[in-house]
């Protein structure tokens, strides 16, 4: 196999090169071709394509992003395939997927870590090249001893110090979080590839902002809030920040938001699904998506929505906003991870 393979997409006539160790999806995005995608991790199925000519390697044959029907029909995932030579594919593209910042691979060094909650830790890396990304985006981390790469969202905003802050939840049996929590020390280096993702802050929107985070979905929503403050969006607008947690000790983010100095322009609304029997929790209870209607003063269709969290939460929000309240799709921003 040569170092570069040429890929032709018959759907839009684009032609781009793929390095031997890249995926078809990432090669397309690096070349400025807007191949449709969301998770970059084999889970969402958003990057399906058909192979018309040539040979490919499949990196994760059992990836859940493909159904049995997809497999029978000969569909593949662009984020989980590599071309072995020149190939021709049929893959959906759209202008909205053309990256505003082309993703690039670089090396990064762990510079600092701190605990956010009992099971979420922030890892700060300094990259060799620039920390160029849009608030709300994610990067793919190549961690020692872990096959493939893992997607983690940045919690900070682009900066000249070349810093990338990731807030990661310790996941039992999660290879990526195990290496981050137990295998890396300050000074160690990893591979970092990004930015990726479509759920970035739309600074041109005139609407009030709603962020909904669950679990370690906190990171990209914090990045959105920080970006909104830095861009001066909260002079007249309000940002409503919902955080859904299992128990009161899982609640986080309020202190970090308070430090942004936006005062009442940021409302923090924590929601706990298991408040316990001791009566200590005085805040909202239940599912976080059920709190949007009682807590938001305007019609849901009047807001710009960003959300990140577990799949049941993002599905419930999609249903509530799009089906229940006809919020236009262009006002809803999220990347699905599984």
Q: Does 99 bind ligand FES (CB under 6 A)?
A: no
Contact pick of 5, 7, 27, 37 for ligand FES (by CB under 6 A): 37
Q: Does 65 bind ligand FES (CB under 6 A)?
A: yes
Write out the binding residues for ligand FES, residues 45-64 only, by CB under 6 A: 45-47
Cα separation values, 220 from 77, 83, 137, 224, 297, Å: 25, 32, 7, 6, 24
Name the token pair of 328. 């236009």
Q: Does 42 bind ligand FES (CB under 6 A)?
A: yes
Taking the least distance from each CB to ligand FES, the nearer of 183 and 312 is 312
Contact pick of 79, 134, 190, 292 for ligand FES (by CB under 6 A): 79
- Distance (Å, rounded) from C-alpha 195 to C-alpha 105? 9
Q: Does 141 bind ligand FES (CB under 6 A)?
A: no
Residue 204: CB minimum distance to ligand FES, A: 26
- Distance (Å, rounded) from C-alpha 268 to C-alpha 239? 9
Taking the least distance from each CB to ligand FES, the nearer of 47 and 271 is 47
Contact pick of 40, 156, 216, 331 for ligand FES (by CB under 6 A): 40
Q: Does 197 bind ligand FES (CB under 6 A)?
A: no
Q: Does 23 bind ligand FES (CB under 6 A)?
A: no
DSSP state of 321: I
Q: Does 44 bind ligand FES (CB under 6 A)?
A: yes
Q: Where are the extended beta strands (E) located within the chain?
A: 4-9, 15-19, 48-53, 56-58, 75-77, 81-83, 87-90, 104-115, 120-127, 138-142, 150-153, 163-169, 189-196, 208-214, 239-245, 266-272, 284-285, 303-308, 332-333
Contact pick of 38, 163, 193, 250 for ligand FES (by CB under 6 A): 38
- Distance (Å, rounded) from C-alpha 107 to C-alpha 181? 19
How many residues of this chain interact with ligand FES, rule: CB under 6 A? 13
Residues at the contact surface with ligand FES, assessed by CB under 6 A: 37-40, 42-47, 65, 77, 79
């Amino acid at each position: 196999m040569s170092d570069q393979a040429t890929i032709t997409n018959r759907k839009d006539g684009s032609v781009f090169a793929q390095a031997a160790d890249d995926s078809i999806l990432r090669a397309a995005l690096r070349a400025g071709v807007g191949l449709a995608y969301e998770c970059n991790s084999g889970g969402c199925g958003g990057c399906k394509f058909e192979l018309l000519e040539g040979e490919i390697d499949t990196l994760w044959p059992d990836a859940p992003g493909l159904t049995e029907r997809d497999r029978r029909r000969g569909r593949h995932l662009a984020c989980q395939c590599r071309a072995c030579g020149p190939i021709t594919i049929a893959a959906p593209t759209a202008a909205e997927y053309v990256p505003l910042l082309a993703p690039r691979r670089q090396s990064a060094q762990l510079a600092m870590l701190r605990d956010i909650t009992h099971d979420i830790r922030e890892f700060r890396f300094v990259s060799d090249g620039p920390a160029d990304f849009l608030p709300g985006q994610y990067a793919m981390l190549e961690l020692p001893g872990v096959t493939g790469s893992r997607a983690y969202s940045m919690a900070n905003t682009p900066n000249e110090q070349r810093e990338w802050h990731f807030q990661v939840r310790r996941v039992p049996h999660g290879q990526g979080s195990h290496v981050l929590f137990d295998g890396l020390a300050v000074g160690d280096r990893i591979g970092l590839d990004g930015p990726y993702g479509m759920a970035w802050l739309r600074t041109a929107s005139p609407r009030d902002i709603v962020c909904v985070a669950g679990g370690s979905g906190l990171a990209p929503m914090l990045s959105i809030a920080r970006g909104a403050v830095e861009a001066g969006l909260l002079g007249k607008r309000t940002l409503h920040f919902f955080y859904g947690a299992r128990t009161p000790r899982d609640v986080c983010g309020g202190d970090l938001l308070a430090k942004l100095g936006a005062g009442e322009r940021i409302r923090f609304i924590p929601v706990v699904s298991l408040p316990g029997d001791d009566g200590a929790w005085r805040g909202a209870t239940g599912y976080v998506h059920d709190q949007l209607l009682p807590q938001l003063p305007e019609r849901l269709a009047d807001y710009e929505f960003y959300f990140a969290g577990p799949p049941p939460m993002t599905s419930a929000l999609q249903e509530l906003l799009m089906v229940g309240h006809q919020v236009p799709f262009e006002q809803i921003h999220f990347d699905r991870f599984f």
